[in-house]
Structure 1
Amino acid sequence: MSDDHSNEWYYNVKTGKVEPYQGSKSADRLGPYNSPEEAARALDKVQERNESWDNDPKWDDD
């Protein structure tokens, strides 16, 4: 695994801000993402995945 984290971006769920690798503790972050713009959409991506899984018959546990 590479030690170069220069292209890693994270979304901090506590602050609502995008951070580089050297940011807050990992328990408060989503990522890594390849760009600050992609990290800023982290919650949108979570929602999209949740909706996809909710409608996937393989994940129907009702």
Structure 2
Amino acid sequence: MSTEQWYYCLVHHDVEPAEGCKAIERLGPYPTREEAAQALRLAQERNEEWDNDPRFNDDEDEPDKDDGGSAFDALKP
């Protein structure tokens, strides 16, 4: 099993090994070159999942469907 990691460079729009561009310019690491090549698609899919997750819905017009309270409730006096 290879321990090599791959990254997708946002500057060059290409897959590169660990010895590539600065970390701020890359997505990853990914376990395979093929998975790194799909980095933009994977990021888009994850963003859509998070945008549609009711646990993170910021729409204030709808009542809160989760009666479990807020993480900030423990900080209230």
Verify: 1:59 aligned to 2:56, yes or no. yes
Aligned length: 57
Partner of 1:19: 16
**Superposed displacement of residue 7, structure 1:** 1.2
1:35 CA drift (Å): 0.6
**Superposition misfits of 4+ residues, deviation over 3 angstroms:** none
Shift of 1:51: 0.7
Match of 1:38 among 24, 28, 35: 35
Structure 2 residues not aligned, in runs of 5+: 60-77
Higher RCO (C-alpha under 8 Å, 6+ residues apart): 1
Could you list the runs of 5+ residues in structure 1 that have no partner in the other structure?
1-5
Q: TM-score, normalised by structure 1?
A: 0.87
Looking at CA atoms only, which structure, 1 or 2, has the larger radius of gyration?
2
